Amino acid sequence: MPTHPATPFDGQPFDGLLIGASLATLDGGGYGEVPDGALAWKDGVLAYVGPRAGLPGAPDTLAHQVIETSGWVTPALVDAHTHLVFAGDRAREFEMRLQGKTYEEIARAGGGIVSTVRAVRDADEAALFAQSLPRAQALLRDGVTTMEIKSGYGLDFESERRMLRVARNIGQTLNVTVRTTYLAAHALPPEFKDNADGYIDEVVAWLPRLHAEGLVDAVDAFCEGIGFSPAQTRRVFEAARALDIPVKLHADQLSDLGGAGLSAEFDGLSADHVEHTNDAGVRSMAERGTVAVLLPGAFHVLRDTKLPPIEAFRAHGVPMAVATDCNPGTSPLLSLRQAMQLACTHFRLTPEEALRGATVNGARALGLHDRGILRVGMRADFVAWHVRHPSELCYWLGGDLINTVHANGHRLA
């Protein structure tokens, strides 16, 4: 349990000090509980994490701002897999599926991913930003201060570029951390029908240009029978490796094509979905430190029955993250806390595992090691909750449990 600052108090006041709540630091085993805790920060970094009784003086003499609260404080949430930049919606398709229509019938009626691609291509940057910003704001209001946002609904150079620019703009506008992921290898655009290899040529050619503009933090692909083959995915990953860009992968959601192992082979940050991942894939992930990103929203909406190999992940020590997969087709989910609840209900994660999945393991899935735990020296990203125990974050179905949200020491909500 952390109890004292890393260095003695030097007499210079903290920027802020929060007292009165219990802390779920997630530092060490369990929740890392600190009853009647204190949390201080300076220059955007945590400077004290421990019991209020361990403070080196009276609170009002230690900080420019003292916040007295109750309930619990946790690290701020990290949503490690979203597609929240898009135009339009596919609510009508949801209704059609419930009426018995097949994916093929919906696609023939102009639905499916092609409808989202069409809407994104028709939207200029301002319109795309205006439609996408409220989704990011909803995540922030639910405690998320770090989020990944993928491209993948443009499927041509200018539209993919526009999506990534909008993602960057969202981060700047909300003062949250946005990690951008290039996912042009998401689906085959209509103009490349029956020419997947030709489209991959374009995906590979666009990557250096977008990376040079500072728009790409990671590279992803959809490795499935209805997406791209392992060989085609490998070409995309080799292009990323040549530019020293980390990779992650939509892996083994619908079938076992060895996607998790492929991501691990390239030292992937994560393999995401992983419902069909086999034991060899799990072992490869464990050896390379690749995070399993669980996406129970899509599992729920698609009424899937194939569970990810949770026990194998536990047995081999594979870190498990939990994310919303916010997207217009299969996971229209705007609450990471709801994703945590679904992970407990469908996948039998414990509330502690789910909270770690949406904090420290979510950060690890984005290659970020400066957040996700309340520890001296980490970023001052934290949430104060109106709860009596951290398990309530996975217990309540909806509701407003937020007291305050801070990122880099600044209050955002």
Residue numbers belonging to the annotated binding site for Zn(2+): 81, 83, 250, 325
Return the bridge partners of 51, or none.
37
Q: Which residues carry a binding-site annotation for 4-imidazolone-5-propanoate?
A: 90, 153, 186, 253, 330
Q: Are strands 33-34 and 22-24 parallel, antiparallel or unpaired?
A: antiparallel
Alpha helices in 11-124 (DSSP H): 91-98, 103-108, 113-122
Helix (H) or strand (E) holding 306: none
Nearest one of 325, 319, 383 to 349, comparing CA atoms? 319
What are the angstrom distances between the C-alpha of 157 and each of 88, 146, 153, 163, 312? Answer: 20, 26, 11, 10, 40
Contacts of 311 (CB under 8 A, 6+ apart): none
Annotated binding-site residues read: 81, 83, 90, 153, 186, 250, 253, 325, 327, 329-330
Distance from C-alpha of 312 to C-alpha of 358, rounded to nearest angstrom: 20
Annotated binding site for Fe(3+): 81, 83, 250, 325
Binding-site residue numbers for N-formimidoyl-L-glutamate are 153, 327, 329
Phi/psi for 352 (5° steps) reads -65, -45
Per the listing, tokens 């802020």 go with 16
250 strand-pairing partners: 222, 272
Write out 318-356 in H/E/C secondary structure: CCEEECCCCECCCECCCCHHHHHHHHHHHHCCCHHHHHH
Longest dimension (CA), the chain: 71
Residue at token pair 């946002």: 149
